[in-house]
Amino acid sequence: MRYLHKFTVIVQILGVILGICCILITTNWDKNINMYSNQKYTEENYEQIISKKNPENYNLIFYKKGCPYCKAAKKDILTYQKGSKYMTFFIDVDSKVGRNLVSAYSVRKAATGITFRKGRVNRYLYAQKVGDTYESKKSVLKVIFRE
């Protein structure tokens, strides 16, 4: 009977440890998923669309999974993008296409937006650190999406 009680206590302790591990995993889960996977244009279809449609005006929004700057600006980016007339591609800098585009356009920080307007290419940092927090640069996002 005494061994059964010890066994029950051990099982309960293991259950608590397992629960804590699950909480830790799920709170950091978003660092491992594609931040913009539900968007129409991503690095997965960038080359195909650019080669077929050859748009004159479009945006590239670069991001990196786990980047605090990128994460802080995501909500504002999606809000501004909804009202934009420009096709916007969300590019993971760690993807094959992303690495190629980072090199081609000399992107130095993941939280970068690039605009293409009638042959002109402009590069912007769309987030910043203010004190201990990260936030989007709304004035820059307005330029990127309403330029």
- Residue of 17 and 49 predicted with greater confidence: 49
122 in a structural domain: yes
Q: Tens digit of pLDDT for each residue in 27-64? A: 444 444 567 877 888 888 888 888 888 888 999 999 99
Tokens representing 147? 């330029």
139 in a structural domain: yes
9 in a structural domain: no
Q: Tens digit of pLDDT for each residue in 93-102? A: 999 999 999 9
Report percent pLDDT > 90 for the chain: 58
Q: How many domains does the chain have?
A: 1
Enclosing domain of residue 87: 43-146
Residue 25, pLDDT above cutoff 60:
no
**pTM of the full predicted structure?**
0.75
Please provide the average confidence, as pLDDT, over all residues in the chain: 85
14 in a structural domain: no
Mean pLDDT of 128-145: 95
3-state class (DSSP) for residue 116: strand
56 in a structural domain: yes
Mean pLDDT of 127-131: 96
The per-residue pLDDT for 48 is: 85
38 in a structural domain: no
- Residue of 109 and 37 predicted with greater confidence: 109
Residue 14, pLDDT above cutoff 80:
no
36 in a structural domain: no
**Rounded Cα–Cα distance for residues 94 and 74 (Å):** 17
Torsions phi, psi of 132, nearest 5?
-100, 5
Torsion angle of the four alpha carbons 83, 87, 92, 93, in this order, in degrees rounded to the nearest 10 = -110
The per-residue pLDDT for 39 is: 81
CATH of the domain at 123: 3.40.30.10
